[in-house]
Amino acid sequence: MTELRAYEEFIDFIAAGPSSEHVATFQPSEATRQRVLDLVSREKSEGLSEAEAEELDEYMRLEHIMRLARARARRLLRP
């Protein structure tokens, strides 16, 4: 459910047609950030189930896309 929530946040953000300023400053919700922190911590300490490992991989892909979008948005905002 949390994984779906992260995708929904991302899709809602893109669907809203954000400005370059909004893209440059986008941050996932606190719930999503906490879920990722929990998965990373458990991956290091006790390991993850296959489903949890896939979930973490998906978060990492979304984060990579957003980093690229933020970098592009910042370039567009430069005078």
pLDDT digits (tens, 9 = 90+) for 19-54: 999 999 999 999 999 999 999 999 999 999 999 999
Boundaries of domain holding 47: 2-77
Model's pTM, two decimal places?
0.81
The number of C-alpha atoms within 13 Å of 21 and in the hemisphere containing its C-beta is 0
In whole angstroms, give the CA distance from residue 13 to residue 26. Answer: 9
How many domains, the chain? 1
